[in-house]
Chain A
Amino acid sequence: DVKVTQSSRYLVKRTGEKVFLECVQDMDHENMFWYRQDPGLGLRLIYFSYDVKMKEKGDIPEGYSVSREKKERFSLILESASTNQTSMYLCASSPGLAGQETQYFGPGTRLLVL
Chain B
Amino acid sequence: GENVEQHPSTLSVQEGDSAVIKCTYSDSASNYFPWYKQELGKGPQLIIDIRSNVGEKKDQRIAVTLNKTAKHFSLHITETQPEDSAVYFCAASPSRGYQKVTFGTGTKLQVIP
Chain A residues in contact with chain B, CB under 8 A? 4, 33, 35, 40-45, 48, 50, 56, 58-59, 90, 92, 97-100, 102-103, 105-108
Does B103 belong to the interface (CB within 8 Å)?
Answer: yes
Q: Which of B34, B46, B97, B100 contacts A58, CB < 8 Å?
A: B100
With contacts A40-B105, A99-B101, A103-B46 known, what are 9 further pairs, Cβ within 8 A?
Answer: A35-B103, A41-B105, A43-B103, A45-B102, A56-B98, A98-B98, A99-B32, A103-B34, A108-B42
Contact of B95 among A42, A90, A92, A100 (CB under 8 A): A100
Contact of A103 with B101 in the complex, beta carbons under 8 Å: yes
Q: Which 8 A-B pairs give the minimum distances between C-beta atoms?
A: A105-B43, A99-B93, A42-B105, A99-B99, A43-B103, A102-B46, A98-B98, A42-B103
Range class of the B interface residue count: 20 to 34
Measured CA separation A106–B89 after assembly (Å): 16
Partner of A42, one of B6, B98, B100: B6
> With A42-B104, A45-B100, A58-B100 as given contacts, are A100 and B43 in contact (CB-CB < 8 Å)?
no
| Contacts between chains A and B (CB distance < 8 A), count | 67
Q: Is A43 a contact partner of B89 (Cβ separation < 8 A)?
A: yes
| A-side contacts of B102, CB under 8 Å | 45
Q: How far is the CA of A108 from the CA of B59 in the complex (A)?
A: 27
Say yes or no: B44 contacts A97, CB within 8 Å: no
A4 to B43, alpha carbons, bound, how many Å? 10
CA distance A41 to B104 in the complex (A): 8
By the criterion CB–CB under 8 Å, are A98 and B43 in contact? Answer: no
Partner of A99, one of B41, B42, B94: B94
Q: Which of B44, B49, B93, B95 contacts A43 (CB 8 A)?
A: B44
Asked, given contacts A48-B100, A97-B98, A108-B43, whether A102 binds B105 with beta carbons under 8 Å apart, the answer is no
Q: How far is the CA of A61 from the CA of B7 in the complex (A)?
A: 27
